[in-house]
Amino acid sequence: MGLREVLESWFRLKGRSLEHLSFAARRLAGIIMALYLLLHLVDISTLALGEEAYSALLNLFSGRLGLLADSLLWSILVIHGTLGVYSAFVEAGYFLQHRRTLLVMAWISAIMLIAIGVWVIAGVLA
């Protein structure tokens, strides 16, 4: 099975339910976080080039770019986390009758936490 078929199946959106869209969002967030970890290892490794190189890289992310990057990262973390909590309950066989309600609550929590986080990040970077 090729990577294209796998991605098409996981991230198929047309005609899919909220549950499937949430599955896709959770999985995509997980993949992005794994890629971020790799990127972070690269960024940390600039320390080997000296303080100047590391500081120059950090300065790149001190303005609007930093707000954007940190907000995106926070959003992805929150989506993966809130949908993960939903998933932990239903995948252990709990709240199966109320899973749609639980899923809607997970998304509402995610949106609220993302908004609060972005507001805090903007305040810190201001």
Partner 1 sequence: MRFRVVIKRVKAGGEPRFDAFDVEADPSESVLDVVERISLEKDRTLAFEHACHHGVCGACGMVINGVERLACITRIGEVAKGGVVVLEPLRGFKVISDLAVDKSRMFGKYKLVTPSTLEIVDGGLQEVQLEKLYDCIECGICYSACPIANTFPEYLGPSLLALISKSGDGKVPAVVDSRAGVWACHAAFECSVRCPVGFKPGESIMRLRRRLLKGELRVEG
Does residue 85 belong to the site contacting partner 1 (CB under 8 A)?
no
Instruction: Name the phi and psi angles at 17, rounded to 5.
Output: -85, 170
Does residue 99 belong to the site contacting partner 1 (CB under 8 A)?
yes
Helix (H) or strand (E) holding 70: helix 64-91
When the beta carbons of 82 and 121 are compared against partner 1, the nearer one is: 82
- Residue from the set 37, 42, 51, 93 that interacts with partner 1 by CB under 8 A: 93
| Cβ proximity of 61 and 53 under 8 Å | no
Select from 109, 81, 80, 105 the least CA-distant residue to 95: 105
When the beta carbons of 24 and 72 are compared against partner 1, the nearer one is: 24
Does residue 119 belong to the site contacting partner 1 (CB under 8 A)?
no
- Residues of this chain, 36-75, that bind partner 1 according to CB under 8 A: none
